Amino acid sequence: MNSRRVSLGTVIIIIGTLVLMTLLFIANLVYGSISIPVDQVGKALFGLPVDKKVWELIVIKTRLPQTMVAMGAGMGLGISGLLMQTMFRNPLAGPSVLGISSGASLGVALVILVADQCFEIVFSTVGFWGDFAVILASLLGAFVVLFTVLYVSKHLEGTLGVLIMGVMFGYLTNAVVSVLKFYSTEESIQSYVMWGLGSFSRLNLTQATRFCIGMVVGSFSTLFFSKSLDLLSLGDRYAQNLGLNVDRTRRAIIFLAGVLTAVVTAFCGPVIFVGVAVPHISKLILRTSRHTLLIAECCLMGGLVTLFCCLISRMPGSESTLPINSVTAFIGAPIIISIIWKKRRM
């Protein structure tokens, strides 16, 4: 059993991650198609007069909401990935392993593609109500899957059945979406594809603030499960012998991870690789199995990674913007490949 004392090096790493995340938060406000001086960004944030009105609008209306959403989404996905990897004891498990992202995708596909076929409504042209319908459909699809998984986990022993069910549900939803896309118009398919590429810029400042607060609170609330996660990582039987109610804890973890994933997917689309890569980065630099420390580091590292991806996708100095999932794949895929390669050599 590891010593319960926290080393100075661990504290320095966690504080260093917090500092880096803060610097990236500021960089996201400063850099973009137009670079804005740091002092002008500070004035805009504190409501002081800014030299150019357009700078204030860019910071408050565009970059601040996008930055907060990116940070919150990274925290939620990072924690969700850590919970899944600990529960399934599988290093490649991630937020999508339960099929919740697939459920959200199916909900959005039903709204975007079926509405086009049955009512000739193209949601990309509806504005606010179109976005609202997409978010609502995504949440409904995700929660239907989440509660189905919770129901199944009550009647199955172990995690293997839950894992297989999540994977199978992903295949089923992909099949349904493929059929819907086959009969849909090009414009609707494009709307669905754009949603699937992921974005942190779909919320206004008020919505982004609520989203960010919800993600921060939800992510750090998993600290209450840190001791249970330590026991689960040793194996179900060992945890049960030490007095842990394994079934109840597993359902609580599925619920927490599912809610975090569902909310992020509803508002940002299915953001890939972050949930799988962040726990591994955190474990690699902390070199501990204590979940109190891993949860804190995953929260901060998740925010750091998505803020970095958000900045890269914006391509400072350019008018273009890359899809967020293409950037997260560039960062996440090499990490996962390195894990598989390292295990092969062990």
Band (pLDDT 50/70/90 cuts) for residue 300 is: very high
The pLDDT of residue 54: 93
The number of C-alpha atoms within 13 Å of 264 and in the hemisphere containing its C-beta is 38
How many residues in the chain? 346
Q: Average pLDDT of 287-315?
A: 93
The pair phi, psi for residue 320, each rounded to 5°, is: -90, 160
Percent of the chain topping pLDDT 70: 92
pLDDT the model gives residue 1: 44
pLDDT digits (tens, 9 = 90+) for 72-100: 999 999 999 999 889 888 777 777 777 77
The pLDDT > 90 percentage for the chain reads 35
* Better-scored residue on pLDDT, 334 or 41: 41
Terminal C-alpha separation, the chain: 23
Inter-residue contact 295 to 82 (CB < 8 Å):
yes
Q: What is the pLDDT of residues 193-208, one digit of tens each?
A: 888 888 898 888 998 9
Per-residue pLDDT tens for 136-180?
888 888 888 878 877 877 777 667 777 777 778 788 888 888 888
pLDDT digits over 1-12, tens only?
A: 445 678 889 999
Structure tokens at 47: 């409501």
